Structures are given as C-alpha cells and as structure tokens.
Amino acid sequence: MDLFDVIAKRASVRAFVPVKVPEADLLRIADAGRRAPSGGNRQPLNFIIIQQAETLRALEKVQACFATASAAVAIVADPAASRWWLEDAAAASENMLLALTALGYSSVWVEGTLLKEEDHAKRVLGVPAPKRLIIALPIGKAPQDTPQADKKPLQDVLWRESYGKKE
C-alpha cells in the first residue's frame, strides 16, 4: 500500500476478531517503532511484544480492546535517558500504527486509559518502577471496514505564509 493510502486508512479500532499475527509481522511493527525520530537520538524506548492470551486479558483492566486483540505492543520509556521521551514515544507509536495498518491489521493508540492503570499494567508486564509504560497498541483484525474518525477539513486548519492568511 502506498504510504499516503496507509495514512488515510489508519483508523482507531477498539474491538477485534481473532487473526494470526506472525512473528515476522510483529518484528516489522516493532522495528518501525525503533526507527522513529528520537530527540537527540537518545532512543529512550523499549518495546514489549505481547502474545499470550493471559497477558492480553490482564490488560483488559486498562481497556476492553486488549481482550479481543491477537497481540499487542507496549512502549516503555526511560525518562532519565531523554527529556523528549514522551515525544519519542508518540513518534514510535504513529510509526507502528502505520506499519501495522500497511500489514492489514488494526489498532488504537491506548494512552489515556493506560495512564490511569499504569501501575497495574507495569506489574503485568514487569516494567521496572522508574520506567514509564506510556502507550500500548492492541493488534487485531477489524470485524468490518472502519473509517478513520472525522477530521477537520484541510482548508479549516491550513494557513498560508502567516497565521490566519488563507492565500
């Protein structure tokens, strides 16, 4: 799929039907995260691939979507390693969302609900206390074609040369 098609196709999906996610696909998705831009190239992130049904079920407390996911990738950041750990995690997350979309899977950027259950999720995944478990991406197959949420029209968010200037 062309990159611009992938960008337009990526959509948040929060319930999945089972699908086999081969190891090679999981590695390609995690590798897309590893290749994201990183402030000062400090690379303060680790990625946890989750495949065991029991672990996915334990993450249901974070958000229900993990219970039906076939796999997941969690992003762990070391705030001591970079002041830009949050921006780096966001860049890695989007790279992985685009990668898994290109491979035919669906997901959703889980951060808001993870923040509320971070201690629980860190225990489930064995993440050391000083590290942050900031974003997790369930990976699965959408039960039906899901369009991306409505976006503001380009002409409403775009200025030319200076703020507020339309042409």
Ligand X SMILES: Cc1cc2nc3c(=O)[nH]c(=O)nc-3n(C[C@H](O)[C@H](O)[C@H](O)COP(=O)(O)O)c2cc1C
User: Site for ligand X (CB under 6 A): which residue of 78, 87, 111, 117?
Assistant: 111
3-state secondary structure at position 153: coil
Report CA-CA distances (Å) from 47 to 44, 57, 73, 75, 160. 10, 19, 6, 5, 39
> Is 108 one of the binding residues for ligand X (CB under 6 A)?
yes
Residue list 140-159, contact with ligand X (CB under 6 A) = 148-149
Say whether residue 132 binds ligand X (CB under 6 A).
no
Answer for which of 38, 63, 95, 101 binds ligand X (CB under 6 A) is 63
Closest separation in Å from C-beta 125 to ligand X: 16
Should residue 12 be labelled a site residue for ligand X when binding is judged by CB under 6 A?
yes
Report DSSP state, residue 126: T
Answer yes or no: are the C-beta atoms of 67 and 60 closer than 8 Å.
yes
Q: What residues are paired with 77 via a beta bridge?
A: 45, 132
DSSP string, 101-115: HHTT-BB--B-HHHH
39, 87 Cβ separation under 8 angstroms: yes
Contact window for ligand X (CB under 6 A) among 20-28, 35-43, 77-85, 107-115: 107-115
- Taking CB under 6 A as the rule, does residue 86 contact ligand X? no
* Residue from 87, 113, 118, 120 binding ligand X (CB under 6 A): 113
Q: Which is nearer to ligand X, 130 or 147 (CB)?
A: 147
Q: Which residues bind ligand X (CB under 6 A)?
A: 11-12, 14, 63, 108-113, 148-149
